Structure 1
Amino acid sequence: MNQHPFQQKTFLLLLTLVTVGFGAILWQFHGAIFWGMVLAILFAPLHRKMLLNMPGRENLAALCTLTVCLVIVILPMTLITVSLVQEANAIYERLKSGQINIGAYVQQVVAALPAWAINLLERLNLTTLAQVQQKLSSVASQASQMIATQAVSIGQNTLEFIVGFGIMLYLLFFLLRDGRSLALRIGQATPLDNEHKKQLVSKFTTVIRATVKGNIVVAASQGALGGMIFWILGIQGPVLWGVLMAFLSLLPAVGAGLIWVPVAIYFLATGAVWQGVVLTLFGVFVIGLVDNILRPVLVGKDTKMPDYVVLISTLGGMAIFGLTGFVIGPVIAALFIACWDIAVSAPSQGQTPPAA
């Protein structure tokens, strides 16, 4: 505080430069760092219970919490990913060999459509099998090219993924062990009022817990239920379709219906009436109600954000940050609202005398 103004400005410039430089170094592994922080926040209550049962043994408590995290979260995700890759590869091979003929399936649906729907398809040149196959072959070639590109990309980024995964686990251990003291030091270094810091930290942790628990629980529930009904009805690749439904359920206003509705339509159009009716009823009254019941309970009450803000922030976050954006987007939106609430309330608070 007693430094010369020039020295203060020089130090602030140096502080800004080294902070930006350190952020640039960490940016390459921002996903691993972010998910390490998220898992540390989610499993912090469990770690506190571990510490109560293991007083003075911080390393052992953090290691036990990390082990529980591996068993509950990471191991199941690994097994699902392996099954997903196997089923996706099997379906791709059937498509490539012609065992699965999408053109024939579409033609069966077209033949069962009413006259007005066929007239609409005639305007789009989609009524003959040759035309359908021609358009689908174009789509399939583009999809095959995309799959091949992604496969090469995954092979090239295997080492990067392993390194990032190791960084996440390593960081998670230390965040569990030293998270409270680290948060205290960051809070002391942040030039904000104590009440404002508490408000922002509370909003940050609340939104992360609500978003991750709510979205992941809803997505996992819808994906599991969708995969189960597909398996019961004998549809190939139930794990693949279940994972796709779980992924789509992360997107507000889209949902798992983008997968099961076309399948139900195909069943009804091709004469498999009971399969179509069962899938439709299950999709509407079971898969659909999971989202309507669980999401408001797990997300809405904690975040206290309007639905349209959650929708826009989730889609925008995923557009910028990828899959991780379904958490980052709502968190940024919540902090934006909290900061503006502080900014708006600060002048009125300044007019009142300070509390004793």
Structure 2
Amino acid sequence: MKLNFLNVSLAIILLLCAVVIAPFWKSISWGIVLAIIFTPLKVYMQKFIKNDLLSSLIVLVLMVVLILLPFVFLITIYSSQINSIVDFTKKAILEYANFNLPFLGSIKQYTVNLNTQIIDFLTKNALSVFSYTYKTVTDLVFALFVAFYLIKDKDRFLAYIASFINDKQTFEKLKDTIRLSLKATLIGGVIVALIQGFLCALGFFIVGIGGFFIWTAFGAIASFVPVVGTALLWAPASIYFLLTGSYLKGIFLLVWGGVFVGSVDNYMRPLLIGSYMRIHPLLLFFSIMGGIVFFGLIGIFIGPIIISLADAVLSVYKKEKIS
């Protein structure tokens, strides 16, 4: 009776804990990812700085700098190359508005009042934009908060988790699997994003669209968008060229984006990650896609980790069954 009561109480308490923590699961997940990535840096720093709190704080500052650095870089590039993009956009709008097509007859009216429409849109949606920005910032702060304490108290957290697992060898294997999977996904993701951004900008450069570096940055960011990816950039440009009569440029961008840029994500990411992990590239591909669909952007990491853990647990189970 006592055992049954204890089991029921434990189940209820764990369920309530899950309900309390659920609103912050994304921040916690990103915090765990950041902690695993930056823990080796803390281990290295402790060779010179023995104080645990101080070394953890320095790592936290470096995390903030490394997270903000891409945004500063993007803003710098944006301010230096925005004129070429604005000129191309204005030209596209004006030419688009002059098409002699029946279903585009009202485009002129919209483009004349474009500034007013943008201001009205921003005014009406200012609260939504502010709410989204506020949520993103708070999620980032919570993630950094989680990462800091996981880095600082790593040994305590690992010892607590290990206390529930009798087989220490299995625990070490699962821990190494998560670390290696995350490392592989991060390296694969960053390399693929940079390659896709570069190829997208190169395609734009070939057809005469300026702003090479800013398109590289936008392409790298767009590569992380679930399902569509860099098509957010090259598809509208291709449609514009096709509608304005530049068929060669339009078809080139369509083929370049769909075949070359798209194949990098479909084939290179699984191959790069698979070089670190003993999982078939096809299974890895579906784990990444499924992770993104189910969990959002964090699914890029969660998907491969789940598949890697499943593979590790099954191998342990098979080993025990044989023995």
Q: What TM-score, normalized by structure 2, do the two folds share?
A: 0.73
Who is 1:180 aligned against?
Answer: 155
Separation in 2, partners of 1:292, 1:160: 31
Stretches of structure 1 that go unaligned for 5 or more consecutive residues are 1-5, 109-127, 139-143
Who is 2:139 aligned against?
Answer: 164
| 1:176-226 deviation per Cα after TM superposition (whole angstroms, max 9, x unaligned) | 111122112211124x52232222222111111111221123213432553
Contact 1:103 1:132 in 2 (8 A): no
Who is 1:59 aligned against?
Answer: 53
1:23 to 1:100, Cα distance in 2 relative to 1, 3 A: farther
- Of residues 99, 103, 107, the one that matches 1:131 is 103
Contact 1:36 1:172 in 2 (8 A): yes
1:251 to partner: Cα distance = 7.2
1:290 to 1:322, Cα distance in 2 relative to 1, 3 A: closer
- Of residues 39, 43, 46, the one that matches 1:48 is 43
SS of 2:296's partner is: helix
SS of 1:302's partner is: coil
1:319 to partner: Cα distance = 1.7
Separation in 2, partners of 1:31, 1:333: 19
- Matching of residue 301 in structure 1 with residue 275 in structure 2: yes
Separation in 2, partners of 1:308, 1:133: 47
1:291 to 1:325, Cα distance in 2 relative to 1, 3 A: closer
Who is 1:29 aligned against?
Answer: 24
Contact 2:174 2:309 in 1 (8 A): yes
Separation in 1, partners of 2:225, 2:310: 21
Moved more, 326-335 or 75-84: 75-84
Q: Output aligned runs, 1:103-118, within 5 Å.
A: 104=95
Who is 1:205 aligned against?
Answer: 179
Who is 1:314 aligned against?
Answer: 288
The AA in structure 2 aligned to 1:315 is M
- Of residues 297, 313, 319, the one that matches 1:323 is 297
SS of 2:312's partner is: helix
1:147 to 1:312, Cα distance in 2 relative to 1, 3 A: farther
Who is 1:216 aligned against?
Answer: 190
1:58 to partner: Cα distance = 1.0
Who is 2:72 aligned against?
Answer: 79
Contact 2:184 2:276 in 1 (8 A): yes
1:38 to partner: Cα distance = 0.7
| 1:278-334 deviation per Cα after TM superposition (whole angstroms, max 9, x unaligned) | 979997999679769964664111122222222222222222222111211222222
Contact 1:219 1:246 in 2 (8 A): yes
- Matching of residue 340 in structure 1 with residue 314 in structure 2: yes
Contact 2:226 2:296 in 1 (8 A): no
- Of residues 64, 67, 70, the one that matches 1:70 is 64
Separation in 1, partners of 2:239, 2:132: 39
Contact 1:261 1:280 in 2 (8 A): yes
Stretches of structure 2 that go unaligned for 5 or more consecutive residues are 111-117
1:317 to 1:90, Cα distance in 2 relative to 1, 3 A: farther
Separation in 2, partners of 1:43, 1:204: 14
1:244 to partner: Cα distance = 5.0
Identity of aligned residues (%): 25
Separation in 2, partners of 1:263, 1:83: 24
The AA in structure 1 aligned to 2:174 is L
Contact 1:103 1:129 in 2 (8 A): no
1:169 to 1:90, Cα distance in 2 relative to 1, 3 A: farther
1:347 to 1:79, Cα distance in 2 relative to 1, 3 A: same
Who is 2:33 aligned against?
Answer: 38
1:236 to partner: Cα distance = 6.5
Moved more, 326-335 or 249-258: 249-258
Separation in 2, partners of 1:336, 1:149: 47
CA RMSD of aligned residues (A): 4.6
- Matching of residue 154 in structure 1 with residue 129 in structure 2: yes
Whose Rg is larger? 1
1:154 to 1:90, Cα distance in 2 relative to 1, 3 A: farther
1:214 to 1:147, Cα distance in 2 relative to 1, 3 A: farther
